[in-house]
Structure formats: structure tokens, C-alpha cells
Structure 1
Amino acid sequence: MTIVKINAITVPAGSGDELARRFAARAGAVDDQDGFEGFELLRPTDERPTWLVITRWRDEESFQAWVKSPAFAHGHRSAAERAGEGAPPPVGVHSEVWSYVPAGGSDPARP
């Protein structure tokens, strides 16, 4: 069964574009992981400071295998760090990971 992981990241005012840029710089880094089904970065449309990183996985085991993999560590390093430079300061000031399974909904794309 699909599992949804949501990383809720609190971002200070004026830092959201940098968060989006950093995610864009590593787009596709998780796409080849076994059990990975999709990714979205959601920007708030109001004044709240929380951005959401939503990933879908085949199951909890697939997600945990990715978290424990070298690909996870590599993907969470900045481009500067991968080039041997120092790490930039973090954009987020707080984050927490939420875990859900689909419990209903609709798919208008299906006939």
C-alpha cells in the first residue's frame, strides 16, 4: 500500500525562493529509488511559513531503505558540499516528518 511522507519545513520570511532553488537543484535525485512513486514541493499561498515536501512510496520499507541509503545522504548535501566547498546555512528553521496512508479520495483522470 502506498505511504505518503510529508516533511513540513518552517522557512523564515524571504527564504522560500532559496528553498525552492535548492530543491530544484537536486530534482530527480530520488526518482530511481526502489519503491519511490512521486514528489511535490508545496509553497504556501498565504502568510504561513510552512512549506510541504510530499513524497509517495510503495511501502514503509522502501522509504526506510532510501533514508538509510548513501543516495539519501548525497541528495541532502548541497551542490557546494558535493563540489568540496563548505555547507551553506540551512534555509529551514524547523522540520518534522508526518506519515500517512491514503484513506479515500478520487482520481478524475481514470475512466
Structure 2
Amino acid sequence: MITVANRIYVKPEYHDAFEQRFRERAGMVDTMPGFVSNMVLRPVKDGEPFVVLTVWDSREAFDAWTQSDAFRQGHARSGTLPREAYSGPNVLEIHEVVTSTAPRAT
């Protein structure tokens, strides 16, 4: 399993529009083979990035998503913010999951 974190630096005056963009996303990733989950994390301190975090069964599943027509269509449909909305370049991080925990069923 892997996580993909896209750290996106958005100016404070564009935070609401950025969040709305994800609330209205096309959702095409949700049906991709190997997709596990998607979260959009809001920064709690000024100057820190939003983090769009996805979890995948494998690196191959993520790579297949980024090379798919659904990826291109989903990103085209989601709309974009103007260039001035961003305060820095995006940073993409991919990590392998070494260990993971969840609440135990009772």
C-alpha cells in the first residue's frame, strides 16, 4: 500500500474556493482499481499547505490512474484556480505504508 500526498500552497483568500473545488470534484478516481481513499487536509497555520492525500493498494495502481483518460477528464472537469491563488509550487510525496492501525472491532 502507498500514500500520495500532494502539498498545495494556497493563499488564504483562495482557501474557500480551493475547498469547494474538491467538494465538487468529478470523483472519477473513486472507481479506479487499487484506489483506497482520498482526503483533503486543511492547514491550521497560515503559510502551510493543503494536503490532498490518497491511499492506493500499490504504486502500479496509482501510476495507472495518472496515465488514464479518467485522470485527464477528472482534472479537466474539476476546474482550476487562477495562478495567483497559489503561493508556491506543489510538492508531491509518495510513501510506502510500513505499518497501519485502525480501531479494533468490538
TM-score, length of structure 1 as denominator length = 0.81
Amino acid at match of 1:47: D
Aligned to 1:108: 103
How much identity, in percent, do the aligned residues show? 30
- String of CA shifts for 1:10-36, please: whole Å, max 9, x gaps: 111211111111111115221001110
**What is the RMSD computed on CA atoms of the aligned residues?**
2.0
In the TM superposition, 1:41-60 aligns within 5 A as 41-60=40-59
Amino acid at match of 2:44: T
- The 1:100/1:110 distance shift into structure 2, 3 A limit, reads farther
Amino acid at match of 1:94: P
Aligned to 1:39: 38
Amino acid at match of 1:32: T
Task: Pick from 86, 89, 95 the counterpart of residue 82 of structure 2.
Answer: 89
What is the alpha-carbon distance in structure 2 between the residues aligned to residue 103 and residue 3 of structure 1? 9
What is the alpha-carbon distance in structure 2 between the residues aligned to residue 50 and residue 79 of structure 1? 19
Amino acid at match of 1:55: T
8 Å CA contact retained: 1:78, 1:88 = no
- String of CA shifts for 1:55-74, please: whole Å, max 9, x gaps: 01110111011100111111
| Higher fraction of helix | 2
Partner of 1:54, secondary structure, is strand
Amino acid at match of 1:107: A
Aligned to 1:84: none
Unaligned runs of 5+ in 2: none
- Which consecutive aligned stretches of 4+ in structure 1 deviate over 3 angstroms post-superposition? 90-93
Aligned residue pair count: 104
Tell me how far 1:110 sits from its aligned partner: 4.0
In terms of mean alpha carbon deviation, does 101-110 or 12-21 score higher?
Answer: 101-110
